[in-house]
Chains A and B, each alone.
Chain A
Amino acid sequence: MRAPLFLLALAVAAPLTAQTALPPAPYANQQLADPVQERKAHELMLTIRCVTCQSQSIADSDASMAADLRSEIRARIAAGEEPEQIRAWLIERYGAWISYQPTADPITWPLWAAPIALLAGGGALVIGRIRRKRRNA
């Protein structure tokens, strides 16, 4: 019983390996030799969206698009480019959507203002209430 199962497994698995045997991009799953550069690259990857996946960064996706971008980023970092230059290049090519890190574009200002406004509003409410109580007391 076991041998046919193995054959079946091989038969079904074979197209899988064929499909994934395309030459992978050189740095897709290979780290840079210099740990400082690799860390830079990895930190950038964590903030770049995999556009063919759903809500995953390219640092944690199996998609081929993510692999290509990982390779591209590692190659550019190795060539001495700064992470923010690469981000700018990616945004130019794919649109602002690709960056999880909100840019300085005015459209994102309310996003940064929201926590400040919430803290200030809530804090004012609490302080006002404690003051009122003191007066009452």
Chain B
Amino acid sequence: MIAELGLAALWLAAGLALLQLVLAALGLGKGRAELLSGVRPVAVAQGLLGALSFGALIALFLRSDMSVLLVAMNSHSAKPWLYKFAGAWGNHEGSMLLWVTVMGLAGALVALLERGLKRETHMATLGAQAAISLGFYAFLLFSSNPFARLNPAAPDGQGLNPLLQDPGLAFHPPTLYFGYVGLSVAFSFAVGALLTARVDAAFARAMRPWVLGAWVLLTIGITAGSYWAYYELGWGGWWFWDPVENASLMPWLAATALLHCVTVLATRDALRAWTVMLAVVAFSMSMVGTFLVRSGILTSVHAFAVDPERGSFILVLLLLYIGGALALFGLRVGTVREGRQFEGVSREALLVVNNLLLTVILGVVLVGTLYPLMAEAFGHKISVGPPYFNAVAGPIALVLMLAMAVGPLVRWRRDEPGVVAGRLLWPAGLMIGLGAALGVAAWGKIGVLPFLGLVVAAGVALASLIPLTKRNLRRTPLFTYGMVLAHLGCAVSLGGMAAESAFTTERLVAMKPGESVEAAGWRIRFDRALPLAGPNWVAMQADMAASRGGEDIMLHPQSRFFSSPPTTTSESAILTRWDGQLYVVLGEALDDGRWQMRIWWKPFVTFIWFGGLMIAAGGTLTLIGRERRGWMMRLRRHRAEQSA
């Protein structure tokens, strides 16, 4: 029953999305304003029905209803409840259902909460949102029905990919999806503003919280995904330039550019056409990302869904949306009047530089990711990987970081180059000093890019704090704190990446029980290896003790074997200290009673993800700061009206 209920709710939600589009189109196109009053209630109902449908899917997974194909394929009755729950979206159909559900709920929120926009623009935005949702509903209902029955029911399920049976990963994909949906809302706002010729500051203010929210979620999603790969894959790598990682990085890059651009539009009413263009690009990148991941067109660690029919369906959707959006942009960009002017040395100009560099990095990642496909079409099988991306995107990113340090120290509209240089005295001095010291101490021992990364990180960290000096800290707006925190987070993250690349110590050893090994000041003793059983796995676990002068700290790396489906994973033992992590992996047993061990000391590696969290926290502060200001103003107006 639950499966049928879920499917019925999905069909109804799809019908309402169609109705929402038709009402908005007729209301605006034929001037029948009475139809427009129906758009908002329909949007809310559509969101609720989508949520009901997804709720039904979760219920099916929690009850382990093996008469539903999706549950039988991706779940198992012996799994812990968390992974039954997360299993609902740990597969193609479920994740797409989650996507449309969140999209519907976001549409309902836009319908309920948005007050600053002109009514026509608001309605056009909801119409655009319905049009995007319709494509996804069609995709689900015609090629990926999550509620398909299995007759006869399976005795038990096939289980979830053990790599995915991890609390971090259970919530990694939904975080990214929520981010993608936020970008789709931003895109809908852009379409609404283009259609009604209202690309202005009010539009930017309406769009900004969605861009910020999406960007925060994407930041968290990428940071969490990177940490997951780091501890789960067992080789200490934190970024592989894997196509699926790139698929999540590209929307983030576009969202970062959009976020800065939309601020310029909201506060200075400049960069109008470019903001709209970036909204189109950001949404397109999230669609490209979905296409790359969901179609399984690129071989990658994450390619769980390999199905050409679905791939072609998403490709058609992708071309329709992006083509439509670009065509609309081309047709209507003439109605976007030029915004306000600014000088070559101004915060606007530096934000343009930020946008340019982010877009170039985005272009590099896009080209690099798709290039092997294009080359294959011409009969060449080549790989594009870390050596290319690091060499090309790395230097551009460093220049971008420098621009990020300077930007907040420059005034809006125009500033004096000499005065700006004066504000940069201390960071520049720090960079020169650190560069000289590092050059003397470690010349030839570390690569050029990590060297520059360390120097730039230090300078940017110092410069990012300067906006807080010489002002009353209690009267400084929350969003300024948010910006400072996010920029500082970028510097911290860069510092972590550079330190890890420059100073990691690696030890690959074979040890007998009782033997010890030294690595970067640590003494690591291997006591014994014993078998161990978990709820749905068995493992070999090593008892090890690590010490750095002080007392012993126990470490327990495991090699885990899951029976459904049969897979071996290594659970690394990670010891976190303020200045880095000790990372120990248990390898295979050798014939002579020794065990393979992989041991790394990674100085300041945690800074990478700590910085990522700082960036996300900074974004959240900014979001709260900006929105609170809006609420306060509304409240004040409301009180004034009442007292009058």
Contacts from A to B (Cβ < 8 Å)? 5-6, 8-10, 12-13, 16-17, 20-21, 23-24, 29-31, 42, 46-47, 49, 53-57, 59-62, 95-103, 105, 107-108, 110-112, 114-115, 118-119, 122-123, 125-126, 130, 133-134, 136-137
Contacts and interface: CB of A to CB of B under 8 A. Distances in A.
Contacts of A55: 240, 242-244, 299-301, 385
Contact of A6 (B352, B381, B533, B590): B533
Given A55-B300, A98-B383, 7 more contacts: A6-B533, A8-B538, A21-B588, A46-B387, A55-B243, A62-B568, A122-B359
B506 A31 contact: yes
A12 B561 contact: yes
Interface in B278-313: 299-301, 303
B589 interface: yes
Contacts of B596: 29
Contacts of B507: 31
Nearest to B372: A97
A118 B363 contact: yes
A108 B380 CA distance: 10
Given A24-B588, A46-B386, A96-B382, A107 B375 contact: yes
A122 B356 contact: yes
B344 interface: yes
Given A13-B561, A118-B360, A29 B538 contact: no
Which 6 residue pairs are nearest across A and B when measured between Cβ atoms? A100-B385, A60-B235, A9-B531, A101-B387, A9-B538, A55-B242
Given A55-B243, A60-B236, A130-B349, A24 B590 contact: yes
7 contacts: A5-B533, A8-B533, A17-B589, A30-B509, A100-B384, A105-B382, A107-B382
B341 interface: yes
B353 A126 contact: yes
B367 interface: yes
Contacts of B539: 9, 13
A59 B56 CA distance: 44
B234 interface: yes
Contacts of B342: 133
Interface in B329-369: 341-342, 344, 349, 352-353, 356, 359-360, 363-364, 367-368
A119 B508 CA distance: 42
Contact of B587 (A29, A61, A98): A29
Contacts of B15: none
A137 B367 CA distance: 38
Contacts of A110: 371
B388 A60 contact: no
Given A29-B508, A30-B510, A130-B349, A57 B356 contact: no
Interface residues of B, number: 62
B385 A13 contact: no
A97 B590 contact: no
A16 B381 contact: no
A69 B540 CA distance: 26
A30 B508 contact: yes
A38 to B, nearest CB: 8
B531 A10 contact: yes
A133 B345 CA distance: 13
Contact of B364 (A53, A61, A118, A137): A118
A8 B367 CA distance: 50
Contacts of B588: 17, 20-21, 24
Contacts of B235: 56, 59-61
A104 to B, nearest CB: 12
Interface in B520-565: 531-533, 538-540, 561, 563
A126 to B, nearest CB: 6
Contacts of A111: 367-368, 371, 384, 388
A106 to B, nearest CB: 10
A29 B360 contact: no
A117 to B, nearest CB: 9
Contacts of B590: 24
Nearest to A5: B533
A131 to B, nearest CB: 9
A122 to B, nearest CB: 4
Contact of B299 (A12, A54, A119, A137): A54
Contacts of A5: 533
Given A17-B589, A29-B596, A102 B382 contact: yes
Given A30-B510, A137-B341, A21 B591 contact: yes
B392 interface: yes
Nearest to B367: A114
Contacts of B367: 111, 114-115
A1 B588 CA distance: 28
Contacts of B384: 100, 102, 111
Contacts of B540: 13
Contacts of B385: 47, 49, 55, 57, 100-101
Given A29-B508, A30-B508, A126 B388 contact: no
B360 A122 contact: yes
A72 to B, nearest CB: 16
A42 to B, nearest CB: 7
Contacts of B242: 55
B187 to A, nearest CB: 22
Contact of A99 (B234, B383, B533, B568): B383
Max count, chain A CB within 10 A of own CB: residue among B235, B510, B588: B588
A24 B356 CA distance: 50
B378 interface: yes
